[in-house]
C-alpha cells in the first residue's frame, strides 16, 4: 500500500530524531516522550469562544469548549470526547488542538474527558470515568449550557474504544445519542485481526506497541472478551447511535475498525466509513505535517452538523 508523501516526510523526521519506541519505555517515560512530540506535529491551537477546566462528580477532570461564534446564551450540541493514548498516555492537553477544531468547525460544545490511566488504573476504571462523563452531560446539561437532546460521543484510538463502549451503554440505559465518532478505534483486545500481522515495523504504532498498551490496561486476558473492553464482541450493536468510523491503512487497528463499521451496518446502524489508504495511526492529531488531518476533521464536523440540523 502506498504512503501519503506527507507521511513519508513524517517518518523520515521521526527516524532522524531517533525517537525511541514507546514499548521500550516505562509508562512515565512514554508519557514524557508522547508530550514532547506534540509541538512538531500539531497545528497551533485555534481560538474558541470559551474554554474552562473543571472536575465532574467522581473527580474526573474535563475541559469544556464552546465553538467560536456561538451564542453565549445558547444551549449547544455537545460532543463528549475521549482522548487517545492507549489507555496509558494522553490528557486534556494532548487533544486540545483537535477538540478546539471540532468545536469550531461543528459550531458546538466539546467536553474533553481525562479518564484515569493505566497501569495505575486498570480496566474498567477508564470505562467507568467515560460513563461518568457521559452521565454528567446527560443529567446536568444546564450546568454547562448544552442541549441534552443533541449529545454525541467521540474519541480516537483508546478514546474511540471508550466512545464505542459508551454508545453501547447509552443504548442499554435509554440515552439517545445523536452520533458516535470513532477515529481509528480499538474494538477487539484479542488482537486477532490481519492488520496486526501487516503493521509490525516502521511506524510509531505497530503490533507490539498495542501489546504493550493492552498489557498495561487489562487486568487479565479474560478482560479482552468483555464488551466494555472489546465493543466488537458485544452481542449486538443494533440500536446504537449513527456512526462515523475513520480508519488508516497503515495502522494495526485498521481491520478491527473496518470490522466494527461492518458490524454496525449489519446490525442496522447508519454508518459512514472513511478509509485513508495512505495514512498511519494518529494522523488526525498531526495537522502540522499531515494535510489529511484537516480532511478528516472537516468530515467529522460536517457529519455532526448534519445530524444536528
The one catalytic residue among 251, 285, 293, 307: 251
The one catalytic residue among 281, 293, 303, 307: 281
Cβ atoms 179, 307 nearer than 8 A: yes
- CA 210, 190, 244, 199 torsion-angle sign: positive
The residues near 235 (Cβ < 8 Å, ≥ 6 apart) are 227
The one catalytic residue among 94, 157, 195, 307: 157
C-alpha 54, offset from chain centre: 20
Cis amide prior to 124 (ω within 30 degrees): yes
**Is 112 a residue of the active site?**
no
C-alpha 304, offset from chain centre: 15
Give CA–CA dist 167/172, Å, rounded. 9
Cβ atoms 307, 31 nearer than 8 A: no
**Is 157 a residue of the active site?**
yes
Give CA–CA dist 156/274, Å, rounded. 14
**Is 281 a residue of the active site?**
yes
Give CA–CA dist 18/37, Å, rounded. 12
Cβ atoms 162, 115 nearer than 8 A: yes
Catalytic (active-site) positions: 157, 251, 281
Amino acid at each position: 500500500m502506498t504512503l501519503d508523501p506527507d507521511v513519508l516526510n513524517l517518518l523520515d523526521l521521526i527516524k532522524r530524531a531517533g525517537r525511541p519506541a514507546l514499548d521500550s519505555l516505562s509508562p512515565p517515560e512514554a508519557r514524557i516522550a508522547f508530550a514532547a512530540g506534540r509541538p512538531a506535529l500539531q497545528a497551533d491551537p485555534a481560538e474558541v469562544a470559551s474554554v474552562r477546566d473543571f472536575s465532574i462528580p467522581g473527580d474526573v477532570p474535563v475541559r469544556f469548549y464552546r465553538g467560536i461564534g456561538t451564542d453565549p446564551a445558547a444551549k449547544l450540541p455537545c460532543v463528549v470526547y475521549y482522548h487517545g493514548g492507549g489507555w496509558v498516555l494522553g490528557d486534556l492537553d494532548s487533544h486540545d488542538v483537535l477538540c478546539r477544531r471540532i468545536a469550531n468547525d461543528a459550531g458546538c460544545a466539546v467536553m474533553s474527558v481525562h479518564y484515569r490511566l493505566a497501569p495505575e488504573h486498570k480496566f474498567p476504571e477508564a470505562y467507568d470515568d467515560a460513563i461518568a462523563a457521559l452521565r454528567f452531560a446527560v443529567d446536568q446539561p444546564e450546568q454547562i449550557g448544552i442541549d441534552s437532546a443533541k449529545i454525541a460521543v467521540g474519541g480516537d484510538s483508546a478514546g474511540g474504544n471508550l466512545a464505542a463502549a459508551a454508545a453501547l451503554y447509552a443504548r442499554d440505559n435509554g440515552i439517545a445519542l445523536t452520533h458516535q465518532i470513532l477515529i481509528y478505534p480499538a474494538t477487539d483486545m484479542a488482537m486477532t485481526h490481519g492488520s496486526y500481522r501487516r503493521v509490525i515495523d516502521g511506524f510509531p504504532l505497530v503490533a507490539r506497541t498495542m501489546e504493550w498498551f493492552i498489557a498495561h490496561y487489562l487486568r487479565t486476558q479474560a478482560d479482552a472478551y468483555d464488551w466494555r473492553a472489546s465493543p466488537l464482541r458485544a452481542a449486538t450493536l443494533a440500536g446504537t447511535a449513527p456512526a462515523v468510523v475513520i480508519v488508516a491503512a497503515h495502522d494495526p487497528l485498521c481491520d478491527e475498525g473496518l470490522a466494527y463499521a461492518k458490524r454496525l451496518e449489519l446490525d442496522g446502524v447508519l454508518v459512514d466509513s472513511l478509509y485513508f489508504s495512505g495514512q498511519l495511526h494518529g494522523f488526525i492529531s498531526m495537522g502540522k505535517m499531515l494535510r489529511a488531518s484537516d480532511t478528516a476533521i472537516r468530515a467529522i464536523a460536517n457529519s455532526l452538523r448534519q445530524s444536528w440540523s
